[in-house]
Structure 1
């Protein structure tokens, strides 16, 4: 009779589960890291849930995506001690916390492990234990950490090979708009002689920060959600005419070597 592990499955079943997750990760997309991989990890470890949070390098916030009908909605968290996920990202260390389920009046143990890619924190995987009022055991924690390393490796591969095909890919992936609504916005912009960005902001209800993030990801440039917080060199501004700045919608803020930033 096969000996069972602390997870309630045999060693061969555990190894098969590991291989399945590793195999899925080899071809996983960024969306798979949100929606496909976490349920597989949760099933293998007998967890109540597993969630992937990606760190936004522009704002340092962490985002997970939840399916709501046919649309994906983002849930943001700050990289600070207000949550176990934020604390793990901030400290770059595995973090633990108790979470009370108000509907069942039970406590559930939560583990958050930072996902590293290229030596930087690119996200966090959060595991909520499936057994109430119980600390996660060492065997589950060890396997979870091993799988987090694989997720980090795959995430690095995805990020290294990802260049946004259009300036609006982020808006579609985040559920802010659909491909069809983008097509209509482009048609409207062409008909009225306006920029697509103008139509998105004034007719489609797209948030300015979301649009900025989308453009920044495509053009691979930094983006500040609150430009007023950035110091601006007055002598640099005077080197450009107001017409040039308005036409190109840019605000030079300083020098980076011999180049304007």
Structure 2
């Protein structure tokens, strides 16, 4: 038997074709979602009737066994090639933990199988394009995060020195040490209750010009640096769109060239047919002429 591949488009056996078929994948995806819903309902098992809890646990266990059969079938088909996929590793570990004795404490891991729904990112073209653009933007995002972290650190040191030496418990909780200052500045950067929960408390503690310090931080961190994330993602999406457009244009050019080649071949074929028809007519005319001469 030919060796199986992880390519969903090619099949080397009926079993491989079955487990890679659309209906099988849709069935597993539906069971993943159902399993996640059941696990969510079971978080309220103290308020549910005992019979319903028993039924839900039975459904959960049955779905886990189906997942185990799925893993077994894939191991039979792919063998060691099965472990070349990260998702296969994830499924293997999660199902193994679910089947292990006393694994109730890890049952939440089974809900993580719902992450396999992310396969939609490879099926829907637009979602795939956005995902690829985000992945390509990650290196640039890392640089922006580093700049933002450095900026927050500098402002946190300044805020701790300026506002940390106080007897006000609320301000001390906000800026009493470097980690607290960094966390408070992160809240200011997100602009979540920054005025009354942070700035106003510092002003009331005897720092009337504190608002100027926080406003400059907001302008630099929120309006400048954070907007770079949006610009980076938009640029990545635009680059991905340009790449997709170029690929489409190349496909169109190839189709046009192929059509022109086919047209040339058809013209040659028509020309050859005309020549053959002309030869046949000439042969028929010669035969008719020879027949009349014989008479």
- TM range, normalised to the smaller chain? under 0.3
In proportion to residue count, which structure has more helix? 2
Normalised to the residue count of structure 2, the TM-score between the two structures is 0.19
Q: Which has the larger radius of gyration?
A: 2
In proportion to residue count, which structure has more strand? 1
Normalised to the residue count of structure 1, the TM-score between the two structures is 0.21
